[in-house]
Structure 1
Amino acid sequence: MKLTFLNPLKIPRVCDTRWLSIENAVSRIADQWTELKLHFELAATSEKCHKAHILNGLYKDDVNYLYLLFLRPILKEMQALNKNFQSKYGNPTQLYSDVIMDINSLKVKIIPPDCEINILKDDSSDE
């Protein structure tokens, strides 16, 4: 096995005021999960760094990786929708259709198919 040392990709910083900016960071972390997991495992054992120990624990738990894989397509859809809303030339009818489509897409990912819930019309506030 030949090891090649490349410049590692940096994880984008998350903007405090735009939660949608985490899509880039989530994608980068998910794409480099194995390498980051190994890095923090080595750092936790060889260095006296509290953050490395915490991150090593997070990367050891593959449920965290599953969360990222689950969130990545959702964040990508929401970021595309957000960009459409920021456009100067957005068509209000198309934007409305995009919102409805994204809501239904999210519904399919979260609500079990056997639940008969119309999230656009059902009001759960009186429960």
Structure 2
Amino acid sequence: MPTPDTIERFISRVESNLHAEAVEEFYTADACIQENQSLPRIGRNPQAARERVMLARTVSATSQCVRPVFVNGNNVVIRWIFHFEWADGSFTHMEELAYQRWEGERIAQETFFYDPAQAVPQKR
């Protein structure tokens, strides 16, 4: 079960747009990450690399935790709002719920729930 301090440090990393670093610090080596009903992705290192590639395409990013954070034993639910400005002038604004299962102080499984229409970049 994660401590409240660990959860707060995780949230702080993400809100600082250190997404890849948050994955490296807080996920198990064989973490399972899934978006909606898509196939799960396995592994901390591939997920961290994916985050780096995504953030490298941004001009700016904002990541915000909307409180409260729900914790029940090893299960944590965080509501996030993300705003990404892309190099081509488009933007993506997303709100999602992250359902996490922690093993001690690390995330072993995470499923993101969001409306897929939000993932389509919008033009100004």
TM-score by length of 1: 0.26
More strand by share: 2
More helix by share: 1
Structure 1 or 2, whichever has the larger Rg, is: 1
**Greater RCO, CA 8 A, separation 6+:** 2
